[in-house]
Structure formats: structure tokens, C-alpha cells
Amino acid sequence: RNRNPFRTWIKNLEHRRFFIFFFLPSSSCAAFSLCLSLKFLPNKLLRFSPVVVLRHLPGEESSMSRNKGLAEQDLKKLDVTVLHPLSPEVISRQATINIGTIGHVAHGKSTVVKAISGVQTVRFKNELERNITIKLGYANAKIYKCEDEKCPRPMCYKAYGSGKEDNPNCDVPGFENAKMKLLRHVSFVDCPGHDILMATMLNGAAIMDGALLLIAANETCPQPQTSEHLAAVEIMQLKHIIILQNKIDLIQENVAINQHEAIQNFILNTVADGAPIVPVSAQLKYNIDVVCEYIVKKIPIPKRNFVSPPNMIVIRSFDVNKPGFEVDEIKGGVAGGSILRGVLKVNQLIEIRPGIVVKDERGNPKCTPIYSRIISLYAEQNELQYAVPGGLIGVGTTMDPTLTRADRLVGQVLGEIDSLPDVFVELEVNFFLLRRLLGVRTKGSEKQGKVSKLAKGEILMLNIGSMSTGAKVVGVKNDLAKLQLTAPVCTSKGEKVALSRRVEKHWRLIGWGQIQAGTTIEVPPSPF
């Protein structure tokens, strides 16, 4: 025992246990230890034994204590043919409409989301240090209206977090006894405003049903990313836009009026032409109730398909396990995203495509879909039995959390087994290029640089759904281009793609396209 420095014996007399630790040295200085209990604890000493506290994840306490005042969901009574985005059991627990916040950096996108929903979307350490949004933020909010017709507008509209009960009391003075009615349950997709994070913004635009365009009142309009983001949502055919003239508390009235005119000139002949312009102060929560009214009245809930096999686009993925978790506490991977069609249910078997991608001996990509089972569905803190198309939801699965950590599943498609689209490695797209580069000025002048034609052999960045991937231009003929993808993508013909080109070390939006055809790779048949 004394001769071997790598073996230590520890004798714990009080608990009558022996622990053996084997320390095996290695080149990387890692150590492997094995703890072996040789004798069980006697009953009379149980009161001295350490208490094991099971650590629960946020949002995992009992659903009864957390989800009071919300409509119950019952899988046995589920009939997808009669479901509607405004059904009480749906809208009570889950957001059914996605609204993006777009605009230039530091114009107050995240602050507006916090003012409406009460949720801080900037969560990561590097985001908090720099006070900028880097990853897509997300927050849910319920919008209510007082049932008393005498309650004055716009104060009768009020937004709360998604855990609020369905019929709270009105808080307008004089109307405290009146009840409020739940009109909308909204999911906000908070996009970054920096030019180098344009790809992240385009990923978020793939799931938006409407958008809040933020324009700071204390800066000239338009700023570079204001026009670039507006062009991006136009490419995604987003028609419902509300313009918020933010930071109104920092300027004089005549400056605000002049900038209001500048905004109207900027949106002329764009997708935002005729959109309402609301002066707000996100910090002081001034006119936030007006924004809630416009969301209810100006952004309709799109028609949803509840009957088709479910198809979900993944925009975030996580490993929710903390260091030090016991083996029986480890949770499976979590995928976050928005369902495009169909209904996901707890205990349902699912497939994720393209899944795990590897290259064979010849360098050709091969994909192996991931198969798993849904063990939980959450919309923020609200536990779901089933999830419908619309707002962002978290899908807890049985898959290895290593596959989902650090957004590794972003861009993949989740759905029912054998019902997902093909996996493409080469695409033929019908493309349309913008006339000028948005947000880029040519040297020595204030004019925006022109967009040159696509050249054979050049590298582009494609945004297909929530997937960002590189693409080499193999051939160009008129407005048709053949693109070889750097990574396989699960998509279908007719889907829209955004095209970006590297300009001055940044990816810049240059146009859009529609998938006409392509080369697919074989997907192994499911084992089920």
C-alpha cells in the first residue's frame, strides 16, 4: 500500500464504509476513480446519512403549482380536426403567433421585448458583457383586453408573461372589478442587429408571422441594418409589420415629427408601406399598450395546418444538464423551434433530419437520421401535452444531450418518422439579385455598392429555413443557378432561400431564390 503512490485507502469508521479509489495516471494527467462501498449503512445511523437533494431544472416543479389558472390539456380528448389557434386549451398555454423584432443595432429590440413580455432575452455571458444580442432571443407574452366596454383605450390592452392566468382582473383605476379576456399569446423572436450577425437574423426570419421594426428616434433614418433587415423580411414575404419609433423620450417634439416624415419616405414602395408608426419609449414603457393593441388588430393569426404529419424547424438546441448531476438525474437533449404544421404529442416517436452527417472514403456526405421519443413539451414555463403550429416550444427528448448541446441541431427538421422532406446536397435555384448592397457604402461616396452577377466557382452563404450553409456556384444560366452545398440540408422544392456574399469580410444579403430541383442523398430506412 505504501509502495504504490497511485492507490489510496480511506476508512470511514463512523459510517462503517470502506472506499477504494484507484487513480490511474495518463499522459493527459486525467484520473479515473472508482468508489466502492463495501458495507451498507446500519439503520441506526440513517439519521446521520447525507440528504440527497434532487435538483430540478427551471420549469420542472409540479405543473399544478406552476400552471394555476390555465386551461387543462388532455391527450385523450384531443381532436386535431377541431383545433384552432384561439382554442382556450391552446392559447392558454402556448403562443400561436411568432413576431420578430428587427432593426439596427442598439435601437432597442431586446428592450421592447422585455417591456411587453417582462422577459430578459439577453441571457449569455458574452451578450451581457457587451450588452448586445448575439443568439436569437425568445420570449412569450399574453395580450389581454378588459371586458368592460367603458374601459378607455389603449389602457384596456395589457401584456403579461405566458404564465399569467386566463382571466385576471383589470388594473385600470376604476375598473378593478372587471375581468380581462385573453386575445393573443405571442412568441417574440429577438434578432441581433449587428451586420456580422445577419445570418442569425435570417434564421429567425424563417419562422416569423409578423415583425416589429425598431427605429431609434435619436439617430438618422435609415441606418444600414434597418434597410438590410427590411429587405430580408420582404424576401421572406412577411407582410405584417408595425414600426416602432423608439427612444422618443430622448428627443424634442419637432425632431420626432421630422423623423416621422423621414421614416415614411424610407418605407415608401417597400413591404412596410402604409404600416403604422408608433412612438414608444421601451425603457419608460410609454405607449406599450398601444403596441399591444396594434399587435391584436394589425397582425392576423395565419391559417394553420393541424392535420398533416408534424414538421418542426429547429432554431435552438440545448443540453440542460448541469455539472455534477447524478446519473439518474441526467435529462435528454432539448430542441427548441417552431412547428410549421401538424401537432406534436408527448410520448410520440420522432425523426430528426439530416441527423448525424459524416463523409465516406470518397468524401461524399452520408446522413443518419436521429430517432427519439418526446418526453416533455414546454412553452416557456408552461407544460404541454401537445403542441400546435405557432410559437416557440421546447421539445424534451430521450436522445443523447451531446447531440443537442451548443445549438448543434440548428437548421435540422424534426417531425413524424418517414414523413420529412428529402435531404439535398445540390440545389438548382431560380434567383433574383438586389440592385444594390444594403448597408454598404462604396469608398469615397455615399452611394451603396452595386451587386455584381453570380460567378461560377464563387462561394455564397445560403439560408434555407433556419439552416445557414455554404454553397459553391457550379453553374449559372440566366436567372437559374446550380449550387453545391457544403452540408446536406433537409428541405423541399418551392422553398425560399436567402443568398449572401462575402463583402469586406462580412456576409451581405445580395438576393433570394426559390428551389426548383436538386440532387438528394439516400436516407437509411427507419428501424421502426
The pLDDT tens digits of the residues spanning 105-154 come to 878 888 898 888 887 776 655 655 555 666 677 788 899 999 988 988 88
Pick the CATH number of 311-416 from 2.40.30.10, 2.70.98.40, 3.40.50.300, 3.30.200.20: 2.40.30.10
pLDDT in tens, 13-64: 334 333 333 333 433 333 333 333 333 333 333 333 232 222 333 334 344 3
In whole angstroms, give the CA distance from residue 105 to residue 114.
16
Give the pLDDT score at 232: 75
In whole angstroms, give the CA distance from residue 145 to residue 168.
10
Per-residue confidence band for 244, with pLDDT thresholds at 50, 70 and 90: very high
- Cα-atom radius of gyration of the chain, to the nearest Å? 27
| Dihedral sign computed on CA atoms, order 173, 174, 177, 181 | negative
Q: What angle do CA 450, 451, 456 make, to 5 degrees?
A: 145
| CATH architecture label of 83-298 | 3-Layer(aba) Sandwich (3.40)
Q: What angle do CA 302, 303, 309 make, to 5 degrees?
A: 120
Say which CATH topology domain 423-520 has.
Answer: Elongation Factor Tu (Ef-tu); domain 3 (2.40.30)
Question: What predicted TM-score, i.e. pTM, was given to this entire model?
Answer: 0.73
Per-domain residue ranges of the chain: 7-48, 83-298, 311-416, 423-520
Same fold, 83-298 and 423-520: no
Residue 380's nearest CA partner among 92, 72, 79, 71 is 92
- Cell 493527459 -> residue: 28
Residues 314 and 412 sit within 8 Å (Cβ to Cβ): yes
In whole angstroms, give the CA distance from residue 16 to residue 340.
59
Distances from the Cα of 200 to the Cα of 117, 189, 487, angstroms: 22, 11, 17
In whole angstroms, give the CA distance from residue 454 to residue 510.
10
Contacts of 223 (CB under 8 A, 6+ apart): 103, 104, 107, 215, 216
In whole angstroms, give the CA distance from residue 247 to residue 148.
32
pLDDT in tens, 455-480: 888 898 888 877 888 889 988 888 88
State the greatest distance between any 2 C-alpha atoms of the chain, in Å, as a whole number: 89
Contacts of 182 (CB under 8 A, 6+ apart): 91, 92, 142, 143, 144, 166, 167
**What average pLDDT does this structure show over 419-434?**
87
Give the pLDDT score at 22: 37
Residue 321's nearest CA partner among 400, 260, 379, 419 is 400
In whole angstroms, give the CA distance from residue 360 to residue 161.
49
Whole-number percent of the chain with pLDDT over 90: 12
